[in-house]
Structure 1
């Protein structure tokens, strides 16, 4: 399975970000990718009011991404915002193309490091997996990476590959934590973990988690398979799903669990 991780810098304009999705998907498909992963908040960056831009999955933004995916016969995952019943929004990872059109609503909200995502964002409740070409893909978003149980739950649901979009907050030690967490979750779940972050916008003292870059791919043994730098980039990686089966025979941590 060939996956493209599109490390972009989203703007506050959903239309401009949609154009970036379109050009990036075309490039990824030309390089043979069957899955194209974008960061959290691809629809619009954090630091702007989310309520006015939120749309349902059958709204114009998600429908346009669905059309882009169909045009190139790929599965696209891109972070967006959808309305929640209580007046907040959901932080949704759109999953569209190849017969799929659904969303994963971020379960773990970023109430940490001085931010309070739950003020404006409602939590999701259910893990999401999707099948593609005989492989089950799990989905996660940003702060989810700090919660091992979600990743083992996705593995229990059959996932061999977990795709995560992020807009990782900058700060002392945050890059080291990002890489460590991606590798640790790969080890916990014995899955490939492909984590695509927003590129670093190089804004001094950002007031919102707008990204640091360093999209990272870790294999089921916790090794870094590929990694970007801080600036906009595209990683195109071939995921060996046979390595998942081999790792689970060699280090059967899922089967050996007692709690």
Structure 2
């Protein structure tokens, strides 16, 4: 599976963000043979200042942001995962949309763990999603979805793997600060190692966020990594890599606790 990871710095102007994303995706074409394109959390509209009300800027799933993502998915012939704020009757959700190469909305994942940490209170502006892992089929590969702060909760990654995920996709707006880049890299590599999966992480860059989008293989090695600027990185993530890692390091099979497969999970298919 060929993946492209788009790192960008979103603004608090949704129309401007759509234009910027389209310009950045213009670097890619159908002849790149991409199966999956991943954009960061809050690509639709940045979080802004801590007191910014996100409800008025949130969009429905049939709004202009998803329409733009759908058009790009069709142009590229690829599945796109991107972060947005989803409109409700009250506080919005922090939502990942999964749009297939036919332009259809395949799946949503609403962030479970809201960022009430490091002095922030995401729960004052957004609703948490249901406690339900989400796995979607992309080009024949089961892909699990997480968002940013979810990364600090290894039990969610393990439930995704128990639901069949061989790749974990993590869009993020990982706020910069002391120790934060070390945490970002270490946790991404740990999720890859302990679950013997590929990890594909798309982060916001710029001055406010850490950047350093990356792809890690099932051994935890970083295959490709961005810096802090807007850019697109690409990598191949293969089922053979996962199978080989799990043959040599069968830690999932050797578990003594929590070795039952999760009975309740959602799946969806896309080509």
Take 1:103 and 1:27, find their aligned partners in 2: how far apart are those partners?
A: 26
User: Does the 8 Å CA contact 1:189/1:254 hold for their aligned counterparts?
Assistant: yes
User: Does the 8 Å CA contact 2:95/2:108 hold for their aligned counterparts?
Assistant: yes
Normalised TM-score (structure 1)? 0.92
Take 1:111 and 1:124, find their aligned partners in 2: how far apart are those partners?
A: 15
User: Does the 8 Å CA contact 2:10/2:42 hold for their aligned counterparts?
Assistant: yes
Normalised TM-score (structure 2)? 0.88
Where 2:252 maps in the other structure, the secondary structure is helix
Q: Does 1:120 align with 2:117?
A: no
Could you tell me which residue of structure 2 aligns to residue 163 of structure 1?
169
In structure 1, stretches of 5+ residues that fail to align are 203-209
Take 1:160 and 1:213, find their aligned partners in 2: how far apart are those partners?
A: 24
**From 215, 220, 225, the counterpart of 1:227:** 225
Q: Deviations over 1:187-214 (max 9, x none)?
A: 12111001110012x2xxxxxxx42111
In structure 2, stretches of 5+ residues that fail to align are 258-271
Q: 1:3-152 counterparts in 2 under 5 A?
A: 3-29=3-29, 30-47=31-48, 48-85=52-89, 87-99=90-102, 100-101=104-105, 102-125=107-130, 126-152=132-158
Could you tell me which residue of structure 2 aligns to residue 207 of structure 1?
none
Take 2:96 and 2:172, find their aligned partners in 1: how far apart are those partners?
A: 10
Tell me the C-alpha RMSD between the 2 structures.
1.4
Q: Deviations over 1:116-148 (max 9, x none)?
A: 101111111221111122111111100011111
Q: 1:180-259 counterparts in 2 under 5 A?
A: 180-200=186-206, 202=207, 210-259=208-257
Bigger mean CA offset, 20-29 vs 187-196: 20-29
Indicate the structure with greater helix content: 1
The structural deviation recorded for 1:26 is 3.2
Take 2:253 and 2:141, find their aligned partners in 1: how far apart are those partners?
A: 20
Take 1:149 and 1:237, find their aligned partners in 2: how far apart are those partners?
A: 26
Q: Deviations over 1:154-188 (max 9, x none)?
A: 11111111111000011111000100000000112
Where 1:18 maps in the other structure, the secondary structure is helix
Take 1:75 and 1:134, find their aligned partners in 2: how far apart are those partners?
A: 12
Q: Does 1:2 align with 2:5?
A: no
User: Does the 8 Å CA contact 1:37/1:78 hold for their aligned counterparts?
Assistant: yes
Take 1:127 and 1:28, find their aligned partners in 2: how far apart are those partners?
A: 30
